[in-house]
Structure 1
Amino acid sequence: MRSRLLTTVLSLLVLVLAGLGVPLAATVAGAEQQRLFLDRLTDVTRFASLAQRPIIDDQPSVIERELRRYDEVYRIAVAITDRDGVVVARSRPGLELTDRKVIDRVGLALAGRHSEPGDLMLPWHDEPLVLAAPVLADGEVRGAALIISPTASARGRVVVWWGALLLGSLLALGAGILFALPVVRWILKPVQRLDEATGKMVTALIMGRPVEPVGGNGGPPELRRLTHSFEQMAAAVGDVLAAQRAFVADASHQLRNPLTALRLRLGNLEGHVDAEAEVHHEAAIEETDRLNRLLDELLVMARAEASSLDPVPIDVDDIITERLQAWSAVADSRHVELVQTGETDLVAMLTPRGLEGILDALLDNALKFTHDGTVVEVAARRIDNRVEVSVRDEGPGLRPKELERATDRFWRSPSHQNVPGSGLGLAIVTRIVARVDGNVRLELPKGGGLKVVVTMPLAPPERSIR
């Protein structure tokens, strides 16, 4: 944004300089042309006066000595013509009226008219200045005096003036840049602080930390007010999220005691319920068990969102081995084989106990949905500076259009409603990896089933586990 704003300011400055410089350059060129024109007009008028008597006396050669002396000193060709346009006296041999411009100027003089300045003289126009004046005797045109003057010296002065104008414009442009840089920096400094604060706010909200104030009082008043409004908004969002997390955690914790008491009372009624009500009794017990699982997952979700612990290096291979051993009893009961593949000696950055929570949620889902006698594969590999941990089952999987919604809270596929669960497992995994800028990706591998890929940052060498 700084470059775009600076470009806009400099473009306006260039337009202003061009709007002032171009007319001034044209004025300088016109002034030099006018000065040269008046100077040469004086000379040609003088020669027209000197030629009156020689032409009347029919002795035009008398004036040639004056013409040659003038030509030798100023290198300007001069000629005198009669009323028919024939050259009768000249400053240099071979001077004839052959050029169309010269002939036209002589024609105007023989008609009793003086020459005009003509088009604007520019440095790249090397045409000579041609002026003619009528030779009058007793009010009658008897001939014409002609001057063919080079314009190199006048054009040189125009170039010098234009160079000075260009230099002045460049100096003004440089001064404008030196002035614009601090102004643009002053204007954009609050915007830069807001941009940095936005990134910090997102990180703080994800990590469950207080949002840092933007700080700084510089910049235009409008941006200072925007900064103040942003700080108020960030504080309000932080308070709302903190209240939401606290409510979820408190409500989940407080509901556990009455649910536990209810479960005990329902258990104590076992054997004391009529046969007709036994079905409802078992359904009530199942519902209390489901509510207990739901509360447990809500507490895990609340801890995952409210944790303020910084990421630490974790040994991916050891934790995968540990969690597979912990879930082996559940897998054996369903004749499911747990397989660990991929690379070893990988160290990732994650919050403490974060990978354990991720694997517990993914293995729980995999063992619930995979078919009996199949394989659940847990793989780890390194891709660039990231670590990928995947869990694949051989269950019914999901429909392609359901993959995007699978990580939403409490969402469950319509085809899996008969399987126990709350729909919070993948949401918990997503929240855990989001704290380290990781991501969760769901895939439908060939052969069926579902593959959940979790990506985490690789630990830098200096943070590796020793």
Structure 2
Amino acid sequence: MRVRLQGIVLTLVALLVFGLGIPLARSIAAGAQQDLFLDRLTDTARFASLAQRPLLDNKPSLIDPDLTRYNEVYGVQVLVVDQDGKLFASSLGPSAARIDLKADRMSGPMHEALAGRRSQPAGVLMPWDSTPLVLAEPVLADGEVHGAVLTVSGTGAERADVLWWWLLLAAGGILAFTLALAVAIPVVRWILRPVHRLDDATGALVASVVSGREAEPVGESGGPPELRQLGRSFDRMAESVSGALAAQRAFVADASHQLRNPLTALKIRLGNLEGHVDDEPAAADLEAARVDAGRLHQILDGLLSMARAEASGGGLDPVTLDEAVAERVADWSVVGEARDVRLVVETSGAGLTVRMPPRGAETILDALLDNALKFTAAGTEIRIAVSREADRVRLSVRDHGPGLRPDELDRARDRFWRSPAHQNVPGSGLGLAIVSEIVAHSDGELELDLPEGGGLRISMVFPVA
């Protein structure tokens, strides 16, 4: 946007410079041409008056000295021709015989004068046009044309003056561009300062809202009044969004916590009924109620974990990833042995440290290992890998279960989403959603892919602490 605004300013300056400079340059050239024309026309008319008597008496010697002296002083050639267009007298003396009176630049004005017409102003004097100025004046006596006087003037000095004026105009145009650029840069920066602040704040708003941190206000930050007002409106909007999301998270956390107490009491009461229900259909209903209560308890635990993950955006603690993996794998290996599933750890280096919310690594590994053990068949293995990639650390958990379809990989992170093929497997559908929240808070990236050999691989990439 800064480039476009500066381009608009410079374009307007260019239109102004060219709109004024070109007509002014043409006016300077036309003025120089007109001054030269009038000066030479006056001299040509004077020589036409002086040439009357010599032409009538056929005595060139009467005007030759005047022509020669004029050529010596002003460097302008003067030719006198009779009414037949033949050379009568010249300021060049004997060398005048080399002048070609039939050339276009000479014959045109000469025939105009012999027809009784005076020369008319020529076009604009251009610095690159070295054609001499030829003027012709009829020599009249008693109303009859007896000959004509031609002056041939060089235009070098006038063209040099025009060129200097044009160079001065070009320098003025360059100076105008420079001044416009010098003024445009700070003005455009002043205009766009609040826009950049809004752009940065918009990008940071999502991360702040997701992580539970307070959004940084845009404030006044300078700029035009309209953009300052827009910044204030954005701050109010960001505050409202942050407040609404914080209230939603607080409600989920409070509701989940409050529901656990009556749910726990309900599970105890259902357990107390065991052995006191003899009717077979009633016993089946009791068992189903216990299963549903357990599932509801699991969902509430997931909601609490999600609320904690969403509210964990305050500070990030350094975590030695390979140590956290080793600790959690040691605990989950007991479950793996009970299900005949081996947990294999691969690390490419010790001491790889990343920054996560408190207990973030344990929550991630517990959710991923729990999912992997649910879907991995007996006699297979789960591979947990930690590796360094430049300034990033990759943590991946790969199982050998049924996996997902390629079109389901993006939806797997949604809350409460479960693949239609896995509806018979217990779970709340919140595991990957919780992992995604924690990874986002840690400035990491979550990736899901289907490796060769089957199963699902979930990878997380974190910046090195």
TM-score range normalised by the length of the shorter chain:
over 0.9
Question: Which among 136, 143, 150 is matched to residue 146 of structure 1?
Answer: 150
CA contact (8 A) 2:444 2:461 kept: yes
Structure 1, 295-304 or 69-78: larger mean CA deviation: 69-78
Q: What is the aligned partner in structure 2 of residue 214 from structure 1?
A: 218
1:381-420 residue pairs with structure 2 within 5 A? Answer: 381-420=387-426
Distance 1:217 1:316, change over 3 A: closer
Q: CA deviation at 1:454?
A: 0.8
Determine if contact 2:270/2:290 at 8 Å carries over to the other structure: yes
The question of 1:362 aligning with 2:368 is answered yes
Match of 2:44 in 1: 44
2:208 is the counterpart of 1:228: no
Deviation at 1:176, TM superposition (A): 2.3
Distance, in Å, in 2 between the alignment partners of 1:350 and 1:97 is 99
Map Cα deviations across residues 397-426 of structure 1 (whole Å, 9 max, x no partner): 000111110101111100000000111111
**Aligned 8 A contact 1:350 1:456 in 2:** no
1:277 CA drift (Å): 1.6
2:181 matches 1:200: no
Q: Which runs of 5+ in 2 are unaligned?
A: none
SS at match of 2:447: strand
**1:45 Cα deviation (Å)?**
1.0
Match of 1:330 in 2: 335
What pairs up with 1:262-411 in 2 under 5 angstroms? 262-273=266-277, 274-345=279-350, 346-411=352-417
**1:131 aligned to 2:124?**
no
Instruction: Classify the secondary structure of the residue corresponding to 1:327.
Output: helix
The CA distance in 2 between the partners of 1:233 and 1:110, in whole Å, is: 90
Q: In structure 2, how many angstroms separate the alpha carbons of the residues matched to 1:51 and 1:436?
A: 104
Q: Is the 8 A contact 2:197 2:221 kept in 1?
A: no
Say yes or no: does 1:88 pair with 2:88. Answer: yes
**Offset at residue 217 of structure 1 (A):** 5.8
8 Å contact kept, 1:249–1:298:
yes
Cα displacement string for residues 236-272 of structure 1 (whole angstroms, at most 9, x for unaligned residues): 1001100110011001100000110000000001111
Separation of aligned partners in 2, 1:50 and 1:381: 108
Whether the 8 Å CA contact 1:366–1:393 is kept in 2: the answer is yes
CA distance in structure 1 between the partners assigned to 2:178 and 2:390 by the alignment: 46
Alignment match, 2:67: 67
Report the AA paired with residue 439 of structure 2.
Answer: V
State the alpha-carbon separation in 2 of the partners of residues 186 and 364 from structure 1. 55
Deviation readout 1:94-131 (Å, 9 max, x if unpaired): 23314212111111111111112222111111111111
The residue matched to 2:197 in structure 1 has which SS? helix
Scaled by the length of structure 1, the TM-score of the pair is: 0.96
Long gaps (5+) in structure 1: 460-466
CA distance in 1, matches of 2:221, 2:411: 44
RMSD, matched Cα: 1.3
Structure 1 residue 43: deviation in Å?
1.1
Q: Report the Cα offset of residue 162 of structure 1.
A: 1.3
Equivalent in the alignment of 2:256: 252
Which of 432, 449, 452 lines up with 1:443 in the alignment?
A: 449
Aligned equivalents of 1:10, 1:349: Cα separation in 2: 48
Give 3-state SS (helix, strand or coil) of 1:415's partner. Answer: helix
Deviation at 1:382, TM superposition (A): 1.6
Does the aligned pair in 2 maintain the 1:61–1:88 contact within 8 Å?
Answer: no
Give 1:306 deviation, angstroms. Answer: 0.9
The 3-state SS of whatever aligns with 1:411 is coil
SS in structure 2 opposite 1:261? helix
- CA separation in 2, counterparts of 1:96 and 1:400? 93
Partner of 1:27: 27
Percent identical residues: 56
Q: Is the 8 A contact 2:349 2:388 kept in 1?
A: no
With 448-457 and 96-105 compared, the bigger mean Cα shift is at 96-105
- For residues 97 and 406 of structure 1, what CA distance do their matches in structure 2 show? 98
Distance 2:385 2:216 in 1: 39
Aligned partner of residue 406 in structure 1, secondary structure: helix
For residues 152-171 of structure 1, the aligned pairs below 5 Å read 152-171=156-175
Partners of 2:219 and 2:232 within 8 A in 1: no
Structural mapping, 1:105-124, within 5 Å: 105-124=109-128
1:87·1:96 contact (CA, 8 Å) conserved in 2?
Answer: no
Contact 1:253–1:299 under 8 Å retained in 2: yes
Tell me, in whole angstroms, the C-alpha distance in 1 between the residues paired with 2:447 and 2:186: 46
Task: State how far apart, in whole Å, the 2-side matches of 1:344 and 1:352 are.
Answer: 23
**Conserved? CA contact 1:309–1:352, under 8 Å:** no
Compute the displacement of 1:7 (Å). 1.9
What number of residue pairs does the alignment pair up?
459
* 1:76 matched to 2:82: no
One-letter amino acid of the structure 1 residue matched with residue 273 of structure 2: L
Counterpart CA distance in 2 for 1:380 and 1:84 is 110
3-state DSSP class of the match of 2:140?
strand
